[in-house]
Chains A and B, each alone.
Chain A
Amino acid sequence: MNRRRFLKTTAAATAAGLVPGFVRELGAATPIRVGLMLPFSKVMASLGDSTASGVMFGYKELGAEIEGRPVQIIREDDAADPSLGLSKVRKLVEKDNVDVVIGTVSSGVAAAIRNYMHESKRLWLNPIATNDALAEKECSKYHFRFSASAGQISAPLGAWGKAKLGDRAYVIASNYVYGQQTSAHFKKTFTAAGGQIVGEAYPPLGTNNFAPYFQPLRDSKATMAFVNFVGSDAVAFVKQYAEFGLKSVKPIGPVNLVSEDVLPAQGDAAVGFYSISYYTPSYDIPRNRWYAKAYREFSQGKEPDHFNSAGFDVMQALYGALKSTKGDASNKDKLIQWIETAKLDSPRGPLRFDPKNHNPILDQHIRIVEANPVRSTVVDVLKDVTHPEGGCTL
């Protein structure tokens, strides 16, 4: 141990609670170092930007210090690239010696850094990445997810859809892991509820023309359609679905189908589409009214969404946990225990974590897109939705 390292450690130990008041007077408190790794470039850049903006909103609201220790945020860009993400997170842990890592958006990056994060024993707060495996056999006691697993935004639609939208469903989703996983969850719960899957199609990612898929859908006499597309695919699908007059087959899907990043381009075509999300900007509870107003002011007019609200919740959990240890970031068990038992006052409503897998227990909103202005409004709330599968041992 060299001199510098020695000083650092002793300073940290002091700040950690031995004589916090004394240290504060000297102004020598070591910072709490927070790594913030998100995609700030490439395809997922806008999602990373929004998430980071929610984190920074939390930093501004909750204060720049915890128990006298300044909070220092170190940003890294993973560009939604798994191998880049792994090297960036190593840099954050080994070079910057962060106490906690906040990240990321891409499920591929989350899968790539999982083993390293587990072995380095740093607290890992995951605002967005949805892959199911993190709530199943790849779960880790250091990891907490704040968004939802793929299962949580598809499995609940089976029973709800059967009850409200009819008993014949057509499944159409992008042909890659996320589209297939969510479709499989939906099919399982929809048939379990007594519904019948009358057809399915998996157009490749980047499809521009969905029209050839529509006649089989129409011929199937389906009463509803489970739909999962992202980005430009979601825009093209929704516009063409409306153009071909198919809305009598009630469409429903995960939040990304009609989320705030695609809704302006979809416009009136999206009216009547159902979706499920843990967060809705127009959700009318006091905490969300406060959040929506305060966030718009903070971000100079950008809209609250399920990315930045999750970023804010990450900061609420981090500040709460560190306050419970008087700013001691090294007491991992205490930090984990606090988050496990916490009930956060989130813009989405109360937010708790499932002690079995550290996945959130969610109140899921079923929304419908309305016209004038075009936006999603909540029509139903499904209470206490957990990840539908087991397989996790923490």
Chain B
Amino acid sequence: MSLSSILTQVLMGLTVGANLILLATGLTLVFGMMEIINFAHSALFMLGAYVGYVTYRITGSFWLGLLVAPLAMGILGAALERYFLRPIRTKYPTSHLLPLLLTFGLTLFFEGLAKMIWSADIVSLPKPAALAGVVTPGGVTFPIYWVFAFVTAAALVAGLWLLVERTALGLKIRAATQDPTMAAILGVDVRRLNTFVFGLGSALAAVAGVILGAMTSLYPQMGLAFVIDAFIVIVIGGLGSFKGAIVGSLVLGQVQSFGVALLPEFTNPLVFLVMAIVLIVRPSGIFGAVQRRS
């Protein structure tokens, strides 16, 4: 492999990884705080992309779509937590199965709804004209839009990092992901925090939906493939860990990028091999708590 091809694959891995972080953060924080595997994440990602698409069709502005989609999905996500998940979790506090089934049902509902509104036809969100063209650093051809995709995701992740690691709110979130009961006893309003985190995760998924939607295409089942990758990421990184989601995403991005270049036939098994090795060495993931509460 030449130096320029190595550089290309690194850049591509970073772009994919950065957008995976946006998806994985919502999943991992929700799991940490509520112990819910949130299947509805793929539907919120998909709806976010469609909201961006509709906004673009009405106003002609990609940028407005990028702004409206996370707002709309943040509100929808928070409402889903408040009016669907919270009642079920209050009524059946020990059940992990019911919230899981609920989020799964919501996914099917939203996919069906998207099919009714926008049909199963494949549509496309055009990227803004300002971001057309390529840059060629060091002999590498790289589309400007992909640079934008990386920079946007990286900036959001940096902001999130500050929020989670450096603010009082972030301290509460970290406390609640480690032990919600103890955090509640110490005066943290965990229920409101749950709603906030669910909304935040949904908004991030919507940003990823718009950015990735313009790279690929939109159809009602588009979320599945991306969210499966996000699940792999949080298993590698450690369920419930924000740091884990970042490291896991970057690792997966590079494994996929170099896997395709070096071992094309073996790329998919390679991803799962990495996951298996991590789980053998560290059963709870790279940054997972060694033994979670039972």
Contacts and interface: CB of A to CB of B under 8 A. Distances in A.
Interface of A: 45-46, 201-204, 206-209, 211-216, 218-219, 231-232, 235-236, 239-240, 243-245, 261-262, 264-267
Contact of A239 (B12, B216, B261): B216
A236 B268 CA distance: 19
Contacts of B9: 212, 215
A204 B216 CA distance: 15
Interface string B104-130: 000000000000000011111010000
Given A239-B217, A265-B123, A265-B217, A212 B261 contact: yes
B5 interface: yes
A208 B124 CA distance: 13
B219 interface: yes
A225 B238 CA distance: 41
Interface residues of B, number: 38
Contacts of A219: 2, 5
Given A218-B141, A232-B219, A46 B264 contact: no
A215 B10 CA distance: 11
Contact of B134 (A212, A236, A245): A245
B96 to A, nearest CB: 29
Nearest to A199: B264
A173 to B, nearest CB: 12
Interface string B3-33: 0010011001101100000000000000000
User: B interface, by DSSP: helix, strand, loop or mixed?
Assistant: helix
Interface of A is mostly: helix
Contacts of B5: 215-216, 219
Contacts of B141: 218, 244-245
Interface in B206-223: 212, 215-219, 222
B204 to A, nearest CB: 18
Given A212-B261, A216-B261, A245-B141, A231 B12 contact: no
17 contacts: A207-B225, A208-B215, A209-B216, A211-B15, A211-B16, A212-B12, A212-B258, A212-B260, A218-B141, A235-B122, A235-B124, A236-B217, A239-B217, A243-B134, A243-B143, A264-B123, A265-B217
B189 to A, nearest CB: 39
Nearest to A235: B217
B54 to A, nearest CB: 15
Contacts of B13: 212
Nearest to B133: A245
Interface in B239-284: 256-261, 264-265, 268
A240 B141 CA distance: 12
Nearest to B218: A265
Interface of B: 2, 5, 8-9, 12-13, 15-16, 120-124, 126, 134, 141-143, 145-146, 212, 215-219, 222, 225-226, 256-261, 264-265, 268
A208 B226 contact: yes
B260 A213 contact: yes
What 6 A-B pairs have minimum CB-CB distances, sorted nearest first?
Answer: A265-B124, A235-B217, A212-B260, A236-B216, A243-B143, A212-B257
A235 B261 contact: no
Nearest to B119: A46
Contact of B215 (A202, A214, A240): A240
A126 B16 CA distance: 42
Given A212-B257, A219-B2, A239 B16 contact: no
Given A209-B215, A239-B216, A243-B145, A265 B122 contact: yes
A213 B121 CA distance: 26
A214 B143 CA distance: 12
Nearest to B11: A211
B6 to A, nearest CB: 9
B250 to A, nearest CB: 15
A265 B219 CA distance: 11
Q: Which of B121, B122, B134, B256 has the most CB of A within 10 A?
A: B122
Nearest to B16: A209
Contacts of B225: 206-208
A212 B258 CA distance: 7
Given A244-B143, A245-B141, A211 B122 contact: no
Contacts of A266: 124
Given A46-B121, A212-B13, A265-B122, 4 more contacts: A207-B225, A211-B15, A219-B2, A219-B5
B146 A243 contact: yes
Contacts of B256: 209, 212
A231 B122 contact: yes
